[in-house]
Structures are given as structure tokens and as C-alpha cells.
Amino acid sequence: MSPIPGPPVRVTAVDTYDIRFPTSRELDGSDAMNPDPDYSAAYVVLRTDAADGHEGHGFSFTIGRGNEVQVAAIHALRDHVIGRSVDELCADPGTLNRDLIGDSQLRWLGPEKGVMHMAIGAVVNAAWDLTAKRAGKPLWQLLADADPEWLVSQIDFRYISDALTPDEALDILRRGRAGAEDRRTRLLERGFPAYTTSAGWLGYDDEKLTRLAVQAVRDGFRQIKLKVGADLDDDIRRCRVARSAVGPGIRMAIDANQRWDVDEAIRWTKALTEFDPYWIEEPTSPDDVLGHAAIRAAVAPVKVATGEHVQNRVVFKQLLQAGALDILQIDAARVGGVNENLAILLLAAKFNVPVCPHAGGVGLCELVQHLSMFDYLAVSGTTDDRVIEYVDHLHDHFLDPVVIREGHYMAPTTPGFSATMRPESIARYTFPGGTFWAADLNSQKGHAA
Ligand SMILES: [Mg+2]
């Protein structure tokens, strides 16, 4: 006798949280454009009435003020999600993705860029977290096991089909199956290569820079990254300090966080070439496709990297078409979530450009490792010249934090997207009412009085 079907399981709540960590006090994360970031998450939890108790967790990353705006944007999407059948949602997150992007009134706030698009990314990523938890697989594995036709059905090809057709995407994914089992074995044994930014924040003095750079090499990293762009004399000194600390065999990337105009970017990068920088990251505005192309032509063989602030697949397409970048830096929480990142990974594969994700922020390492591991198993098929950024703070706030061994991200094995924050961290760092902020704001009031 077959069981009597019960009512369909549905999404019952879309709960949002404004979570902020006081990272600016230690100058962690400081760079030429962002001197005092408080790493923050506009955090969302999809709850269901399923007996399994699984929830979908996702977030947008911001750096403090404005996180309440990001939370409000996520809240504006809730009517698209509440009441949705969980089985249908998890069988096809692409439909949710299309429905969110297609809200004709909210679309006016973008389209497909900025706060509203990041909110869509948070909700879509939460749906993928739920999907992977219900499938009992870490997301990288769910994606790598997925049928290529289904993966292609998850991608919105609007505005990119002149550069990548569904048939081409299918072809890349079908070819990606060859040797995938061997790569999975290697991934589980060795992990995926990482580089560290932890030594190079702009607010750190030379002693701290040296100590952390030496430690990074000792810990097995083959690449470090330095923030540059505030003061050229300082940059020359810091690059010299870092290069002498790590020696000639270690790759050293530099990151200007959009600080320069095009000509200035070229001059400044050339002034630092004696220290053999591997890439210059975000030399100018993330929207300036032709500017990146000009910089790339002028500073070669130094490579040009960008992407953490590239707002959608359309701009990535143009950067690739214009030959404007050597390294494509996806971000798991900037664009419209996993579905759009699938499009971007496939665009990068089509143009044969390596993907080295951005992960400086809270929870970004946890998320993006899944996308790079999928890329290795099922798309690019290689880790050559591919590294995921690693920064060493705030991981302890997550239930399934990243594990770094010998400069490699070890593949997560817990089902989901590694996005779930510890309930006690949420309770402590919710702004402004969590226990940390309430006490902090209270003590400031005391000082003022
Ligand atoms: Mg950067």
C-alpha cells in the first residue's frame, strides 16, 4: 500500500537578520578604498514545514553601514518565496531565480545590479543551500553530479547568448565529465589551492606584514596578496618588505580596490613591477570594461584581475569579449546567486580565462569554495593557475567552517552550501539589538555622558 500523500511541503518563512562584526577595530580587511570595514551579513533563513527540519541559509556580504538597506531588499522578495512548494523549488532553483529577476517593479531598482540583485543572490543561494541539504550532499558535489542538461536549464542565457549559447554550455559540461572521478579523488585528498590576503591589509605595519607573510609561506601558501593604492611610496616599501619576506618563488598579487583612473593605474602598476607582482586586482572602476582592456595591454606581463564588484554576467561577458582581464574573480554573494555564477563559470571556460574567486569578507570563503570545486570537477577540469582567496577571520561563526591544510581548501563534506551561521553568533552580533552591539552602544552612551 502506498502512503497517503500529505499536503505539499512549503516554504513557511523568510527570516532576515542584520549581522555586523566589529572588524574595523583591528583594521582587518582595510584597503585603499575601504579603510574601516565592519564585515557584515544581510542574512536570510528559508524555513519550511518539512519534517526533516532543514532550512536554507544565505546572505549578502556588506561592510557595515547600509547592511539594513540590504536586509530590506531581501525582505522585499519574501512574497516570491513564501508558500512555494519545497519539492518544486529544490528540483528547479532556476525558476525562483527567474521569478526574482523578473519582478517587473523591483527590476526597476537594477536591473540585475546593486542592492536588489545582491538580495536576489542571497535568497537564491539560500534555496541552493536547502536543495543541497535535502539531497544530503555538499553543494559542490550536488553540482558536479548533476546532469549537464539540467545545469544548462538553470542558467539564464538572456543577454549572453551572443557569447555563449546553451548548446556551447552543454558541450563544455559534457566534455567536463571526462576524468571527473579522478579529479574528485584528488580533490578529496589534496583540496583546492588557496592564496592568502591575511598578511596584506593596508592598515598593518611592516612588522605585522613581515610576520604574517613569512607565516603564510610556512603554512603552505604559494601566493599572497597585498593591498595597494593609497600612497605610492608606502606601496613600494611594503612590496619590497613582502617580497623579501616570501622570496622570489612565491606569487605576490596586488589589489587596488578600484582606487585609480586608467592612466594612474598603468603608472602605479609599472612603478611596482620590480617586485614582480603576479596580478593587479581591481585597478579601476569595475564597470570600466575598456579601461581594464587598456590597463591590461599596458601593464603586461602583470596580469589584470577583477570581478568582486562586477555586477552581473553581462559585464563579465563584455570583459571577456574585450580581452580586458587575465583572471576572473567570481564572488558568491555579489551576483544573482549560484545560477548566475554557473553562467559566469561557463563564460570563463569558453574564453579560456582562469577563475580565482574573491573571498575577502564574512562567509565568502565558505560559499565560494563550492563553486571552484565544481569548476575543477565539471567545467575547467584543472587547478592550474587557479587559487581561491583565503582570509583567516570570522570562520568560527559558521557551523561548517572552511578547513585549510597546506595552503589548500579541503572539500567540505557536510550537506549544504556551508552558509549556516551559529545561532549564538547571530544572537550576539545582530545590529543593533544583539548582546555585543547593545553593550557597545550602551558604553558609548556612557562615554558621551
Ligand atoms: Mg579585492
Residue 120 sits in a domain of what CATH number?
3.30.390.10
Return the pLDDT at 393: 87
At 33, the pLDDT band (50, 70, 90 cuts) reads confident
Q: Of 138, 153, 186, at which residue does a domain stop?
A: 138
Domain that holds residue 114: 11-138
Q: Is residue 358 part of a domain?
A: yes
- Do 134 and 279 lie in one domain? The reply is no
At 448, the pLDDT band (50, 70, 90 cuts) reads low
Centre of ligand 1 from the C-alpha of residue 299, in Å: 18
Q: What is the number of structural domains in the chain?
A: 2
- Choosing from 54, 113, 303, 358, the catalytic residue is 358
Start-end of H helices in 57-205: 67-75, 86-91, 93-101, 114-135, 139-145, 148-153, 166-175, 180-190
Q: Is residue 384 part of a domain?
A: yes
Termini Cα distance of the chain: 73
Across all residues in the chain, what is the average pLDDT?
96
Pairing of strands 40-48, 11-20: antiparallel
Q: Is residue 437 part of a domain?
A: no
Q: Is residue 147 part of a domain?
A: no
Whether the per-residue pLDDT at 15 is higher than 80: the answer is yes
Is residue 111 classed exposed, middle or buried when 0-12, 13-18 and 19+ CB atoms within 10 A define those classes?
A: middle
Residue 259 sits in a domain of what CATH number?
3.20.20.120
The span from the CA of 54 to the CA of 194, in Å, is 30
- Do 384 and 306 lie in one domain? The reply is yes
Partnered with residue 408 across adjacent β-strands are 193, 405
At 200, the pLDDT band (50, 70, 90 cuts) reads confident
Q: Of 91, 113, 138, at which residue does a domain stop?
A: 138
Whether the per-residue pLDDT at 32 is higher than 90: the answer is no
Whether the per-residue pLDDT at 2 is higher than 70: the answer is no
Q: Tell me the average pLDDT across 61-66.
A: 97
Peptide bond preceding 248: is omega within 30 degrees of 0, i.e. cis? Answer: no
Q: Is residue 442 part of a domain?
A: no
Return the pLDDT at 310: 98
Q: Is residue 393 part of a domain?
A: yes
Centre of ligand 1 from the C-alpha of residue 359, in Å: 8
Q: Is residue 164 part of a domain?
A: no
- Choosing from 80, 227, 370, 395, the catalytic residue is 227
Distance of CA 316 to the CA centre of its chain: 15
